[in-house]
Amino acid sequence: MTQRNWSDGEIHAIVDDYFDMLRHELTGLPYNKSEHRRILKKTIDRSESSIERKHMNISAVMAVLGLPYINGYQPFRHYQKALFAAVENHLDVDRQFYSFLTGEDIVPKNQSGESLDESNLEIDEAPPSRGMPEHNFSEDIRRIVNRFEPPAERDARNRALGKAGEEYAFESEKRRLYNLGRKDLSDSVSWIARDKGDGYGYDILSFDGIGDEAERERWLEIKTTNGPKTTPFFITRNELTVSGEHPDVFRLIRLYDFGRQARAYRLKPPLEEHVHLSPTIYRATL
């Protein structure tokens, strides 16, 4: 039996439904995925499993754009131009929500300077697997994607988001060391980027805090995004140089899903073993 293509009306209906659920999830309001699927079936003649897969397809589009997606609807690749176009149209109409998704307008309320518990930050030693295949988009889809600011550039430009991530890591490090019984080390944690500037190649000076190396320094460079774990990010030449010259103390902390529940993974030099580095900016001299 030939599978029936989704009409433009069906796609726009399910995209609107997806963003309604995402808005509820990110603002902490309750919602029920099954109930949303049942309501959609009244206007879309599709099975619940088909609706669920399409929701997962939308998550895949969101992941490509470096934006948060619904927990429980993990990205399932089945890209189509109409789906990208519907997501683009929705975000164009609701620019305020798009700014909320990227962290441009609103810094998450529980991540903006309040006393933070270390349990709020989950650090995974394992970064995303290297060697993920590049997206082989059609030219039509690529044009739509290119209308959005690249996620790495967007996050690097967003100083408020970057500062919030640094503050979150700063407070978490102080709390972690305090909970280990090392108040002296907790009091010595320094927010270098804020107090001394960006030229040091890292943001936070902290300490190991455990065992024989408890007092060993840790230089933490913080990269923050509201997007998922796979969202790309920028590394400056200075940060890369410092990581190579001081591999024993330098650590890159990637904060992701920051607008919902900040999680993180840690990269230890050499960074080239974990990420693919590609030049994106060139200096032109006469």
Over residues 159-188, the mean pLDDT reads 95
Whether residue 126 has pLDDT greater than 80: no
Whether residue 109 has pLDDT greater than 80: no
Q: Enter the tokens of residue 176.
A: 């972690």
CB 168 within 8 A of CB 114: no
pLDDT of residue 243: 97
Pairing mode, strands 190-191 and 204-207: antiparallel
Q: How far apart are CA 129 and CA 61, in angstroms?
A: 19
Residue 93: CB atoms within 10 Å: 9
Whether residue 10 has pLDDT greater than 70: yes
Q: How far apart are CA 154 and CA 167, in angstroms?
A: 19
Q: How far apart are CA 119 and CA 113, in angstroms?
A: 16
What is the percent of the chain where pLDDT is above 90?
71
| Domain at 151-273: CATH code | 3.40.1350
Question: Tens digits of per-residue pLDDT, 34-51?
Answer: 999 999 998 898 998 999
Residue with structure tokens 């897969």?
53
Q: Enter the tokens of residue 266.
A: 């840690």
Over residues 112-126, the mean pLDDT reads 53
Q: How far apart are CA 87 and CA 257, in angstroms?
A: 19
Residue 164 Cα to chain centre, angstroms: 13
Residue 263: phi and psi, rounded to 5, are -125, 170
- Give the sign of the dihedral formed by CA 137, CA 141, CA 143, CA 147: negative
| Domains of the chain by residue range | 1-102, 151-273
Q: How far apart are CA 149 and CA 145, in angstroms?
A: 8
Measure Cα distances from 15 to 53, 62, 161, 231 in Å.
12, 11, 27, 22
Q: Of the candidates 248, 206, 111, which has an alpha carbon nearest to the alpha carbon of residue 167?
A: 111
Q: How far apart are CA 92 and CA 113, in angstroms?
A: 31
- Band (pLDDT 50/70/90 cuts) for residue 133 is low
Over residues 12-37, the mean pLDDT reads 95
